[in-house]
Amino acid sequence: MKPFMDENFLLDTPAAQELFHNYAEKMPILDYHCHINPQEIAENRKFDNITQVWLGGDHYKWRQMRSNGVDERYITGDAPDREKFQKWAETLEMAVGNPLYHWSHLELQRFFGYYGVLNGETAEEVWNLCNEKLQQDSMRVRSLIERSNVTLLCTTDDPVDDLKWHKVIREDDSFQVQVLPAWRPDKAMQPEKPDYPEYLKKLSAAAGMEIASFADLKKALDMRMDFFDAMGCKVSDHGLDYVMYEPASDETVETIFAKRLRGEALTAKELAQFKTAFMLYAGQRYAAHGWVMQLHYGCRRNNNSAMYAKLGPDTGYDCISNFAPADELAAFLDALNSENALPKTILYSLNPGDDELIGSLIGCFQDGSAVGKLQHGSAWWFNDNKTGMQHQMTSLANLGLLGNFVGMLTDSRSFLSYPRHEYFRRILCNLIGGWVENGEYPADMRTLEKIVKGISYNNAVRYFGFQLETK
């Protein structure tokens, strides 16, 4: 029986252990997509207790607490933090096979030096240990980022954001980690939302112009994109139900936009036409700026309407969608490519059944303009686990070039989430090491070093255009 989560955790073969410990383990982290609050970095927040760090806003944990029959008062309600932590510790006991079990214990090991097991009986011990350490300056958020060997991270920012906190961080020479904005214009392309007119007013104010037409909307977004670009932005991101493709003339799209401004509801076809026009415009502008376009899709959100009414979005009530038409995604990419305006693009589907689709489709649009111009994005959200990562990387290896993969992203709101990169790297090295041990790839350590270091860090540095490559 192997020890619990020791130095060779998830590394089943000598080759896997060599790849991880010699090449992957010490590589820096490039967190090109996360939901960390830049204000907390600028202010170098210190947390009062482990519940604030672990349970505040973490809907991954909230879902499992609900599955363990925990009352909402101890999840998102007004229960004392100590009691919330106790309920989480008791829930974790039942999480055998769940990545949260591994993530939680990796975080306890790496940040708090605790190598025991968290459960209902040890909760008091862990609570006291963590809270004592959290009072140290070495546990402020900047130190947590630096201790994790992060060189650069990209937050998630709306076009109306003034990027105030990014400016503060950039002007502070005492913090060496780059914190850059990432462009997330979802609200600008959601005319079906009741608050869309209010959002357009915010965008108008940010751009300093009135938005009375679709042409105006694009002009306002152009100005905000220029501002983001000046602040170091190199990546966009879209959260989509699926990638639509319902092309329409400029006149038709203007008519649709005017109809929405009048307060009239749009038909499903009109929505698809508007969103297609929006995404074609966006892709063209990203290509012009040299930005990477990320498309996250395949999620059905806010399924529990009663809890959505109480808590709002991103509270643990989303699921995988099984609707992602290949013909529309392919037609969208082809439309941009035909205009020589297809940017570097990363595709993520929440449905693991789409892995082979993505792997086969990206091969249709690779070219000499970039290494791995189109990417199959890292296993995302409900797939961000051992099985999901293995499947995504195996599918990519089967259908494309795993060696050019840009690797892991944190996609988290927690400053303690960086051991997830270690988790990913262990799984990566175990997968490749297994192929080496089985004679499916030679024990050519020079090439394997390049592959493992590339997927861990260097490929992303090159792909996004960050000047941070480590040899």
Q: With cut-offs at 50, 70 and 90, classify the pLDDT of residue 471.
A: very low
Is residue 159 helix, strand or coil?
coil
pLDDT beyond 70 at 470? no
* Distance in angstroms (rounded) separating the CA atoms of residues 139 and 47: 8
pLDDT beyond 70 at 155? yes
Q: What is the pLDDT of residue 467?
A: 74
Q: Of all helices (H) and strands (E), which one includes residue 319?
A: strand 319-320
pLDDT beyond 60 at 235? yes
Going through 58-183 in order, the beta strands assigned E by DSSP cover 150-154, 178-180
Q: What is the pLDDT of residue 405?
A: 98
Residue with tokens 């009135």: 210
Q: With cut-offs at 50, 70 and 90, classify the pLDDT of residue 85.
A: very high
The upper half-sphere exposure of residue 114, i.e. CA atoms within 13 Å in the direction of its Cβ, equals: 22
pLDDT digits (tens, 9 = 90+) for 36-80: 999 999 999 999 999 999 999 899 999 999 999 999 999 999 999
Q: What is the pLDDT of residue 50?
A: 98
pLDDT digits (tens, 9 = 90+) for 202-216: 999 999 999 999 999
Give the mean pLDDT of 127-142. 97
Here the tokens at position 41 are 């970095």
For the chain, give the mean pLDDT.
Answer: 97
Q: What is the pLDDT of residue 76?
A: 97
pLDDT digits (tens, 9 = 90+) for 327-372: 999 999 999 999 999 999 999 999 999 999 999 999 999 999 999 9
Q: With cut-offs at 50, 70 and 90, classify the pLDDT of residue 281.
A: very high
Q: What percent of the chain has pLDDT over 90?
A: 97
pLDDT beyond 70 at 100? yes
Give the mean pLDDT of 19-45. 97
Asked whether 423 and 13 are in contact (CB, 8 A), the reply is no
Q: What is the pLDDT of residue 57?
A: 87
- Separation of CA 85 from chain center: 26
pLDDT beyond 80 at 468? no
pLDDT beyond 90 at 469? no
Give the mean pLDDT of 148-169. 98
Give the mean pLDDT of 441-462. 98
Q: What are phi and psi of 278, to 5 degrees?
A: -60, -50
Q: What is the pLDDT of residue 288?
A: 98
